[in-house]
């Protein structure tokens, strides 16, 4: 089982994500943003959190134009699995792989703390390890985590059961309390909270570990 973690200038959660994949049983390759191709045989691509390109222009906008992102888009278009966390979620919306945008937090302040998330659907490889309605504790660390999409898109996400996580106590103003969403084929997840930071008891909890273990189960039986 192979995972690739993309590294941009300014990424600061790439190693955390790689460790979470490794703990779940994946062989992990770190892929530089200027590479044109993903490693052969990659099962899932991780786009990590951080501040790619210093968040200049707009969070994730410059990273979305990097050579490797074309390969990530192609991977997703072929039905490959991908997960974008925090800045990675921003990048995936900028590439068009996922709908919507991440705006400045409603309170205009950077937020770094653990929040409660509700599992909104278990019908995905990322959330099948939880029970519907479960509440888990996962850290957030962002200044631009306010998810926004027009009313039609939000309704579509809800009607198609593509909202993966919602905030129990919305910290950033995200529309409909959305904390994470799925692509149309349900193989790409974008989320602002950091499950890779909740995958080790030494970090204070393991509520995020099921995201990665569920992926292992699916890939191993594919």
Of the residues 59, 86, 94, 142, which is catalytic? 86
Q: 112 catalytic, yes or no? A: no
Q: 69 catalytic, yes or no? A: no
Q: 194 catalytic, yes or no? A: yes
CB 12 within 8 A of CB 50: yes
Residue 77 and residue 59: Cα distance in Å, rounded?
23
Residue 184 and residue 134: Cα distance in Å, rounded?
23
CA distances from 209 to 22, 51, 70, 125, 176 (A): 11, 23, 29, 13, 25
Of the residues 33, 75, 142, 194, which is catalytic? 194
CA distances from 141 to 133, 189, 191 (A): 24, 18, 12
Report the catalytic residues: 86, 194, 196
């Amino acid at each position: 089982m192979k995972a690739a973690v993309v590294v941009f200038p300014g990424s600061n959660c790439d190693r955390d994500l790689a460790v979470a994949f490794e703990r779940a049983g994946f062989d992990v390759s770190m892929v530089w943003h200027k590479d044109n191709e993903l490693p052969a045989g990659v099962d899932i691509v991780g786009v990590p959190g951080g501040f790619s390109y210093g968040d200049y222009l707009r969070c994730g906008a410059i990273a979305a134009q990097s050579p490797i992102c074309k390969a990530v888009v192609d991977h997703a278009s072929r039905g490959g699995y991908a997960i974008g966390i925090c800045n990675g979620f921003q990048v995936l919306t900028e590439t068009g792989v996922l709908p919507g945008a991440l705006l400045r937090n409603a309170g205009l302040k950077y937020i770094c703390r653990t929040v409660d998330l509700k599992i909104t659907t278990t019908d995905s490889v990322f959330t099948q390890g939880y029970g519907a309605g479960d509440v888990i504790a996962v850290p957030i660390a962002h200044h631009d985590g306010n998810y926004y999409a027009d009313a039609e898109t939000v309704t579509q996400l809800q009607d198609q059961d593509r909202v993966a996580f919602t905030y129990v106590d919305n910290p950033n103003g995200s529309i409909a309390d959305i904390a994470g969403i799925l692509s149309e084929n349900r193989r790409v997840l974008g989320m602002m909270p950091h499950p890779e930071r909740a995958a080790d008891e030494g970090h204070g909890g393991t509520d995020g570990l099921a995201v990665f273990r569920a992926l292992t189960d699916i890939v191993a039986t594919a």
